Amino acid sequence: MTFPALARPMPDAATVFRALREAVVTMLAAIATLLCALAIDPEPGPAVLAVVLCISLSRSQLDRDRRGRIEAAIVLPAVGLIAVGVGTLLRVVPWIGALVFIAGIFLSIWLRRFGPMARRAGSLIALPFVALLCTPYIPATRAAPALATLMPVAIALLALLWVGALHALARRTGFLASAPAPEYPSPAATRASSSNPPASTRMAIQMAAALAVSFVIGYVFFAERWSWIVLTAFIVNSGNRGRLDVAYKSVLRVLGAAAGTIIALSLSMQSGSHDQIAVAQILVAIFLGVWLRPLGYAWWALFVTIALALLQGFAGSPAAHMLWPRLEEIMIGAIIGVAAAWFVLPVRSTAALRRRLADALAALADALDPATAIRTSDEFVAAVAGVEQMRPAFRASRFVTRRFQPMQPADWVDALVACRDPALALIDKGEMPGSVRRAVGTARKSMHEPQNILPALRDLHRSLTK
């Protein structure tokens, strides 16, 4: 069975509505923080930073427990201050600003090796930095110097207050689930081999290389419009699950950004100089991007591009003159991002997938093992979800290469996902038939022999459904 190159499985209604509820709460917190920021300082910069920090905090889920809230209270103000400082450097001394920007993004990825909390804290660092590329007003303020210095701290704490309060209220009333879904660690968190550095370090180096090349090309050849080259290179390499994932995401990024740019320029020409209309359009685009991001990366690329293009329109550039240069910059940034992932300490997508498959089978073995004191399906479900995250790129590859490449890793994903429901039924019953035990063991051993993975997973499925 084959699928269109860019297709994803249709999400069920529960997934769509869960994402919608999350987006509603996130946007209410963002709007509340934005209004507080405007009450303190009417300049657009603090308001932009308020929205960015709220979205970043909501995605990190650091507000969902006491330890996370304490860490966010420490990290967010520092991130806000650093973002404003880097924004100033990018305007005043661009080359030094670029070096600091690259170092900050490198750090945000490298931190993933230290566990879930550090990984979520790293995500807080990255998004405000990226916002600097398309929000020239972040450093701008007419407030007194002392207030201007403290503004990022105040906005960060306001973001934490509103996000934490509204998420807590939503969970208490049942609007949101009482606890976040299990989180599968990215491949960056997996162990390194004896001959390679940890995957988090490799991906941080890839990102630094892509950003460095983007800044150089942008500053040298596109002095007035370099930012979208850097932005696209960053987005294409973000959440890197291997070089195939980067190539797949670059296609979605280019297509989504191209459509978003065209829509944004059309909207900006219709709204003209009406800032209130433009602000409403930006908020709607952000809401749709936050809502639809869990359902497909192309939606996020589309609506974030719309929001950023509309926001950049405040700089006064004629909308009609931005279309083709913007698309050119996006294409250049995508090429740089793919090249960095492919040639700088590359992470093979099949190796990352085999690691995730092995983790899922290990979790299944533990959940079915009678010697395990407390057997639950949570880790197995989370591990299978981690495998499913890699499905779209491999399905696209299968669509393109199925005629001349017999072994398709997308088939491994489909075979494992088919095992999920019968495995959960056995876990609920607390049973571990001997045939299933042997099939799980065989499947785990097959991870070292790619040609045997699909037969072993199919055999596991047969043993689970007997």
How confident is the model at residue 141, as a pLDDT?
53
CA angle 14, 3, 301 (to 5 degrees): 60
pTM recorded for the entire structure: 0.73
Q: How many CB atoms lie within 10 A of CB 165?
A: 13
308 and 433 housed in the same domain: no
First to last CA, the chain: 24
For residue 11, give the DSSP letter: P
Classify the C-alpha dihedral 267-15-351-199 as positive or negative: positive
207 and 129 housed in the same domain: no
239 and 353 housed in the same domain: no
Residue tagged 């495995």 (tokens): 423
Domain boundary among 290, 320, 346: 346
Q: How many CB atoms lie within 10 A of CB 445?
A: 13
Domain assignment present for residue 181? The answer is no
Q: How many CB atoms lie within 10 A of CB 19?
A: 17
Q: Which residue range is the domain that position 54 belongs to?
A: 12-176
159 and 170 housed in the same domain: yes
How confident is the model at residue 44, as a pLDDT?
72
State the amino acid at position 423 in one-letter form: A
Radius of gyration (Cα) for the chain, nearest Å?
Answer: 23
Domain assignment present for residue 1? The answer is no
How confident is the model at residue 212, as a pLDDT?
95
394 and 432 housed in the same domain: yes
How confident is the model at residue 3, as a pLDDT?
33
Task: Encode the chain (466 residues) as per-residue pLDDT tens digits.
Answer: 333 333 445 566 777 888 889 889 999 999 999 899 888 877 777 787 788 778 877 776 655 667 767 777 777 777 777 777 887 888 889 899 899 899 988 988 888 777 666 676 676 677 667 666 655 444 445 556 666 667 777 887 888 889 888 988 988 888 887 654 444 444 434 444 444 667 778 888 999 999 999 999 999 998 877 888 888 888 778 777 778 888 887 888 778 777 877 787 777 666 555 567 778 888 888 899 888 887 777 787 788 777 877 776 655 555 556 667 777 888 898 899 889 888 888 878 888 899 999 999 999 888 887 776 677 788 888 899 888 888 888 988 898 888 888 888 999 999 999 999 888 888 887 767 778 888 989 999 999 888 899 999 999 999 888 7
Domain assignment present for residue 7? The answer is no
16 and 97 housed in the same domain: yes
Domain assignment present for residue 159? The answer is yes
Per DSSP, the three-state class of 377 is coil
316 and 358 housed in the same domain: no
Q: Which whole-number Å values give the CA distances from 13 to 17, 295, 376, in the listed order?
A: 6, 11, 25
Domain assignment present for residue 127? The answer is yes
State the amino acid at position 94 in one-letter form: P
Domain assignment present for residue 170? The answer is yes
Domain assignment present for residue 191? The answer is no
58 and 155 housed in the same domain: yes
26 and 137 housed in the same domain: yes
CA distance 378 to 224: 50
113 and 234 housed in the same domain: no
How confident is the model at residue 31, as a pLDDT?
92
Domain boundary among 295, 311, 346: 346
How confident is the model at residue 134, as a pLDDT?
57
201 and 338 housed in the same domain: yes
How confident is the model at residue 137, as a pLDDT?
43
156 and 283 housed in the same domain: no
Domain assignment present for residue 227? The answer is yes
State how many domains the chain has: 3
Residue tagged 């946007």 (tokens): 27
For residue 374, give the DSSP letter: S
How confident is the model at residue 359, as a pLDDT?
92
Contacts of 32 (CB under 8 A, 6+ apart): 162, 166
Domain boundary among 303, 328, 346: 346
Q: What are the backbone angles phi and psi of residue 130, rounded to the nearest 5°?
A: -65, -35
